Chains A and B, each alone.
Chain A
Amino acid sequence: MLNVNNLHVHYGAIHALKGVSFNLNEGEIVALIGSNGAGKSTLLKTISGLLQATEGEVSYLEETISDQPAQDIVRKGIIHIPEGRKIFAKMTVVENLEMGAYLINDRRLIAERMDQMFTRFPVLRDRKKQLGGTLSGGEQQMLTMARGLMLDPKLMLLDEPSMGLAPVLVEQVFDIIEEINQQGTSILLVEQNAQMALSIANRAYVLETGRIVLEGAADDVLRDPKVVKAYLGG
Chain B
Amino acid sequence: MNSEKYLRNSVQKGFIFSIVMIFMMMIGFHVVAANLTSKLFGVQVLRGSIPEVVFMAYVHLFFAFIFGWGASDKNRPSKQRVAQGLVTSVTTAAIISLFSLLLVFLVEAQLDIREYLTAFSADYMRYFVLNLGRPGIITLFGIYTVTGLVGTVTALFVQSDRVQQAWNRAKTSVTLFWENANSKMPAWAQKYGKYVIYGGSIIVLLILPVRWGSYLNFVTSVVGLYIIAGIGLNIMVGLSGQLMLGYAAFIAMGAYSMALLNAPTPHGIMLGFWPSLLVGVVMAMIAALILGLPIMRLRGDYLAIVTLGFGEIIRILLRSDLLVDFTGGPRGIHAIQGPTLFGRPFNSSSDFVYLIFFFIALSILIYQRLANSRTGRAWLAINEDSIAAQATGVNLRGYKLLALIIGAAFAGLVGGIAASRNAFTGPNDHSLMVSINVLSLLIVGGMNSIPGIFLGAFALRGLPEILREVETYRQLAFGVLLIVMMLVRPKGLWPSSRPIMENIDKAKVKKAKEKVKKTKRKSKDG
Tell me whether A102 and B378 are in contact (CB under 8 A). yes
Tell me whether B393 and A88 are in contact (CB under 8 A). no
Interface mask (B350-391 → A, CB under 8 Å = 1, otherwise 0): 000000000000000000000000100110110011011111
CB closest residue in chain B, given A79? B391
Most central of B390, B393, B498 by chain A CB within 10 Å: B393
- Inter-chain contacts of B394 with A (CB < 8 A): 71, 102
A212 sits at the interface (CB 8 A): no
Partner-A contacts on B (CB < 8 A): 374, 377-378, 380-381, 384-385, 387-397, 498-500, 503
Distance A31 CA – B21 CA, assembled complex (angstroms): 69
Distance A81 CA – B392 CA, assembled complex (angstroms): 9
- Inter-chain contacts of A98 with B (CB < 8 A): 377
- Inter-chain contacts of A87 with B (CB < 8 A): 385, 388
Tell me whether B392 and A99 are in contact (CB under 8 A). yes
Tell me whether A88 and B391 are in contact (CB under 8 A). no
Tell me whether B500 and A50 are in contact (CB under 8 A). no
CB closest residue in chain A, given B384? A88
Q: Which one, B377, B384, B391, contacts A80 given CB within 8 A?
A: B391
Tell me whether A90 and B498 are in contact (CB under 8 A). yes
Tell me whether A131 and B500 are in contact (CB under 8 A). yes
A86-B385, A102-B374 known; A70+B380 contact, CB < 8 A: no
Q: Main SS of the interface on chain B?
A: helix
Tell me whether B393 and A103 are in contact (CB under 8 A). yes
A40 sits at the interface (CB 8 A): no
Interface mask (A177-216 → B, CB under 8 Å = 1, otherwise 0): 0000000000000000000000000000000000000000
A135 sits at the interface (CB 8 A): no
A92 sits at the interface (CB 8 A): yes
A42 sits at the interface (CB 8 A): no
Tell me whether A74 and B374 are in contact (CB under 8 A). no
Further 7 A-B residue pairs, CB within 8 A, beyond A82-B387, A82-B391, A99-B377: A49-B390, A86-B387, A86-B388, A87-B385, A102-B394, A103-B392, A103-B393
Tell me whether B388 and A70 are in contact (CB under 8 A). no
Tell me whether B503 and A129 are in contact (CB under 8 A). yes
Interface mask (A57-85 → B, CB under 8 Å = 1, otherwise 0): 00000000000011100110001111000
- Inter-chain contacts of A103 with B (CB < 8 A): 392-393
Tell me whether A71 and B384 are in contact (CB under 8 A). no
Tell me whether B380 and A88 are in contact (CB under 8 A). yes
Tell me whether B500 and A82 are in contact (CB under 8 A). no
- Inter-chain contacts of A81 with B (CB < 8 A): 391
A147 sits at the interface (CB 8 A): yes
Distance A92 CA – B378 CA, assembled complex (angstroms): 15
- Inter-chain contacts of A151 with B (CB < 8 A): 393
Tell me whether A91 and B391 are in contact (CB under 8 A). no
A99-B377, A129-B503 known; A147+B384 contact, CB < 8 A: no
A46 sits at the interface (CB 8 A): no
- Inter-chain contacts of B385 with A (CB < 8 A): 86-89
CB closest residue in chain A, given B388? A86
Tell me whether A102 and B392 are in contact (CB under 8 A). yes
Q: Which one, A48, A92, A131, contacts B391 given CB within 8 A?
A: A48
A100 sits at the interface (CB 8 A): yes
Tell me whether A71 and B388 are in contact (CB under 8 A). no
Total A-B residue pairs with C-beta atoms closer than 8 Å? 76
- Inter-chain contacts of A91 with B (CB < 8 A): 380-381, 384
What are 5 contact pairs spanning A and B, CB under 8 A? Answer: A71-B390, A86-B387, A88-B385, A99-B381, A129-B503
Distance A75 CA – B392 CA, assembled complex (angstroms): 9
- Inter-chain contacts of A79 with B (CB < 8 A): 391
Q: Which one, B374, B381, B387, B392, contacts A50 given CB within 8 A?
A: B387
- Inter-chain contacts of B377 with A (CB < 8 A): 95, 98-99, 102
Tell me whether A88 and B381 are in contact (CB under 8 A). yes
Tell me whether B395 and A69 are in contact (CB under 8 A). yes
Tell me whether A90 and B391 are in contact (CB under 8 A). no
- Inter-chain contacts of B390 with A (CB < 8 A): 48-50, 70-71, 74
Q: Considering the complex of A and B, which 10 residue pairs feature the smallest CB-CB distances, nearest first?
A: A74-B393, A86-B388, A70-B390, A103-B393, A71-B395, A80-B391, A88-B384, A71-B393, A86-B385, A102-B392
- Inter-chain contacts of B498 with A (CB < 8 A): 90, 92, 131
CB closest residue in chain B, given A87? B388
Distance A151 CA – B394 CA, assembled complex (angstroms): 13
CB closest residue in chain A, given B398? A71
Name the distance in Å between B500's Cβ and chain A's nearest Cβ.
6
Distance A148 CA – B393 CA, assembled complex (angstroms): 10
- Inter-chain contacts of A5 with B (CB < 8 A): none
Tell me whether B393 and A92 are in contact (CB under 8 A). no
Name the distance in Å between B56's Cβ and chain A's nearest Cβ.
51
Tell me whether B391 and A74 are in contact (CB under 8 A). yes
- Inter-chain contacts of B396 with A (CB < 8 A): 70-71
Name the distance in Å between B400's Cβ and chain A's nearest Cβ.
13
Distance A148 CA – B396 CA, assembled complex (angstroms): 18
A86-B385, A86-B387, A99-B377 known; A74+B392 contact, CB < 8 A: yes
Distance A37 CA – B487 CA, assembled complex (angstroms): 41
- Inter-chain contacts of B384 with A (CB < 8 A): 88-91
Interface mask (A89-121 → B, CB under 8 Å = 1, otherwise 0): 111100100111011000000000000000000
Distance A92 CA – B500 CA, assembled complex (angstroms): 8
- Inter-chain contacts of B387 with A (CB < 8 A): 50, 82, 86
Distance A196 CA – B393 CA, assembled complex (angstroms): 29
Distance A88 CA – B385 CA, assembled complex (angstroms): 7
Name the distance in Å between B237's Cβ and chain A's nearest Cβ.
16
Name the distance in Å between A134's Cβ and chain B's nearest Cβ.
9
Distance A102 CA – B373 CA, assembled complex (angstroms): 12
CB closest residue in chain B, given A101? B392
Distance A100 CA – B389 CA, assembled complex (angstroms): 9
- Inter-chain contacts of B389 with A (CB < 8 A): 99
